[in-house]
Structure formats: C-alpha cells, structure tokens
Chains A and B, each alone.
Chain A
Amino acid sequence: ELKVEQNPLFLSMQEGKNYTIYCNYSTTSDRLYWYRQDPGKSLESLFVLLSNGAVKQEGRLMASLDTKARLSTLHITAAVHDLSATYFCAVDFDSNYQLIWGAGTKLIIKP
C-alpha cells in the first residue's frame, strides 16, 4: 500500500525556536514535494526533492530527502509568526503523476 505519514500532526511553538517536521513514505520514490496551505486557501508548492541527499532551502525553511530511509524532513529555523500554516508532504510513486499526500502538520507559531 502506498502510504505517506507525517509527524507531528500538530505543532505549537514560540517564535525564534527551531523544529523539524518528518515525512515517511512506504515505497521507493525519488520525488517528494512539500506544500504549504493557509486556512481556506490553495496549496502552494515549497520544495521539490528529487534525489537522495537532496537539500533545498528557502528563507527559514530547509527540506531534505533520504531515499534509503524513505524519509524527508522540513526544518524550521528561528520560526516567525508568518510561517503559521499547514504543511503537507506528497510523494509521486511510480512516475504516474499521482501524488499521495501526508496528513499534514498544522503549525502554529506564537509571537
């Protein structure tokens, strides 16, 4: 079964702190996506990770991919309130363009 699991599902943190969101998936894939969703809004692409060891950074967010462990992480550095959102990872298995999604991590950053 194709499964994508995220943890934690909910995270409340203070501004200025660091934290990591984890995304595990069940079967080999070389393509993993991170999306951001604000309440009531659409899905905004953050990162596409294509190969083992891939690391991408944008501002305070950094994503990495370990295909051997079937694990991706989204690391938040010195969080700010504007990063409050729900973050989803999604995996493209078997190149069939069908994205399988994690449950999402709702991130609340308190001033």
Chain B
Amino acid sequence: EPEVTQTPSHQVTQMGQEVILRCVPISNHLYFYWYRQILGQKVEFLVSFYNNEISEKSEIFDDQFSVERPDGSNFTLKIRSTKLEDSAMYFCASSDGSWQGGVHEQYFGPGTRLTVT
C-alpha cells in the first residue's frame, strides 16, 4: 500500500542552524501539508501546498519557514534559523484532493522528531 515517507526520523540541531525536513508524498497526490506536534500537545497545522504554491498557512508558519517541491517526488520544510521552541515532531501529509464519497482524506507520514539544543 502506498505511504508517505519522511526523513530523517530524528534530527538534532543547534539553535540558529538551518534544517530541512524531507517528505515523499504518495505518488499521485496533489495536496501536501506540514503539521507539527510539540511533545505531549496537540497537532498544529503549519502549511498546505498545491500546484507549486502555498494554499494556506497558519500563524506559526512565519518567515523562518519555507516549503518547496524541488522535484516530482520530494516535499521539503525548511526552518531557516531554528529556535528552541521549534523542537517538535513534524508530520507531512498528502492528499489526492478528490472528494470520493465525500471524503478528502490526508495520509500522514511517520514524522520527523526535531530536537533543537
């Protein structure tokens, strides 16, 4: 069964460093998302991406964040200068955007745990 994959599974970085989190969405999907979950807290929407541009973004997604689809398969989240509070699990999700049976379902990757020290 097709699945969303993410690399790395765990990234440790120092405050102020740039990190790139990588995702490979399901191959025929057109909509891509990033969410984050601070340890023990709820999942928060960061950004959605369609047709090579951002569709929606939350207040969390400030100028420190950017997303890119550099080729036909990868979808990346870049944090330019990491802060301690960026430590979280980052989930990528993808969707084909269709409403089959009224369902628009997002499929989540396993997550990347980002630790900023």
Contacts and interface: CB of A to CB of B under 8 A. Distances in A.
A42 interface: yes
A96 B56 contact: yes
A88 B42 contact: yes
A69 interface: no
Interface residues of A, number: 22
Contacts of A78: none
Interface residues of B, number: 25
B31 A50 contact: no
Interface stretch (B14-22, B79-87, B99-107): B99-107
Interface in A56-89: 88
Name the 4 nearest CB pairs between A and B, nearest first: A101-B43, A43-B108, A103-B42, A50-B102
Given A42-B109, A88-B42, 4 more contacts: A41-B110, A42-B91, A101-B42, A102-B42
